[in-house]
Amino acid sequence: MSVISNWRRLSLFASLTLLLAACAAAPSPEPAGPPPVGTVSLVTASNSPAEAQSFDIGVLVFATLAGNEEINRSGAEIFSQIRKTETQYLPVALRSALAASNQWGVVRVLPDSDPSLDIIIEGTILRSDGADLVLHIRATDSTGRLWLDQNYVDNARVADYPDSAPMLLDRGLTFGTDPFQDIYAAIANDLLAVRQSLTQPALDEIHNVTQLRYASDLSPEAFSRYLQEDESGLLSVTRLPASNDPLLRNVADIGARNEIFIDTIDEYYEALYQDVKPIYDIWRQYSFEQVTEERSSLERARSGNSNSGSFEAISQNYNRYKWSKIFEQEFVALASGFVSETAPAVLELSRNVNGLSGPVEEQYAQWRVLLRGLFEIETEGLNASPLLNTP
């Protein structure tokens, strides 16, 4: 079953059309900061990484700085919902690039940080209008070491989009490569460069800290003693539990169940991505054309070559206005009913199996609490002081 029904597809398109009109009415200046990433080839591996370098990654749902400004300018509350959908869409694109590189372990999109993962990636959308994508990316490993903390800029070109925009209801449309694929490849390559710069003891420390951080999340009383934090906030292992520690075996059992659950959450975001992609691609192409045309008009005006009073210029302005009004009038009723918090595929499974309810973010929080309680129940009667290896 499709995650987003047909009427939601139409209302999403209407909402994106209104957003496009607002963006075109007040074009933003060229993005400042670092230069665009340019053309970037994703560094891939023919074989999966060795266990010591196979880090599991969580890409968190992005934040955005674009929503409030657009809402205030347009007066349309629906824009906040559109931007929320985008914050769930773009992390899947980044996750796909990381997975395609074959340089990592399992890569998942999650609503919040999970202590069972080796690396957490947080992103903020600074700008996204079809012509430019500006992201701030912050990546840290389980020890607290900072891998990335920088802005990435990518500019779309005419060649990045099809020659003509597909029809709205063409269910067979495929756009192929993302117009901003270079930005995701650049992020993935930078992460790989950091991993390659670390020594083998440092890589081993990340794996050990991840294991003990997850164990401490389930039972702080039993496992927090094995970790210490230095004055800069970095975690390290003081000593390891014995390999036959019964509590550690229980942690592994709980961890296996947790992996199934967070895999299901990742599948929800993938389903949302696939369902939104056709509409989102259409919006980005229309937005690209509008933004580039507005920039060209402004440049002509600055250089004194503006021909705003010509028949051609007047016709172009009228056609843009007519196009936006047609979609606004046809879909305004549907747009008002749009909600980006679409029914997740994980919801039905969680309700039937785990008794969880609510949006996926709330279910994830409930699941974490449930696992801690389950660990306590299953470890009742066991020795609460694990055997220790010699430091």
Query: Has residue 389 been placed in a domain?
Result: no
Percent of the chain with pLDDT strictly greater than 90 = 39
Query: Has residue 387 been placed in a domain?
Result: no
Look at residue 255 and give its three-state secondary structure. Answer: helix
Query: Has residue 391 been placed in a domain?
Result: no
Query: Has residue 357 been placed in a domain?
Result: yes
Fill in the DSSP letter of residue 29: P
Contact 58, 118 (CB under 8 A): no
Question: How do beta strands 227-229 and 235-237 pair?
Answer: antiparallel
* Of 88, 142, 91, the residue nearest 120 (C-alpha): 142
Query: Has residue 385 been placed in a domain?
Result: no
Query: Has residue 180 been placed in a domain?
Result: yes
For residues 28 and 56, the model is more confident at: 56
What's the average model confidence in pLDDT over 224-238?
A: 94
pTM: 0.78
Query: Has residue 383 been placed in a domain?
Result: no
- pLDDT at residue number 361: 75
- pLDDT at residue number 174: 47
Number of domains in the chain: 1
pLDDT bin (cut points 50, 70, 90) of residue 142 is very high
Could you report the per-residue pLDDT of 78-103, keeping only the tens digit for each?
Answer: 455 667 788 999 999 999 999 999 99
Does residue 323 have a pLDDT over 70?
A: no
Query: Has residue 12 been placed in a domain?
Result: yes
Q: How many CB atoms lie within 10 A of CB 21?
A: 21
For residues 11 and 4, the model is more confident at: 11
pLDDT bin (cut points 50, 70, 90) of residue 4 is very low
**Domain membership of residue 72 as a residue range:** 6-378
| Alpha helices per DSSP H over 219-336 | 220-223, 246-303, 311-335
What is the rounded CA–CA span in Å between residue 280 and residue 335? 15
What's the average model confidence in pLDDT over 18-37?
A: 60
- pLDDT at residue number 376: 79
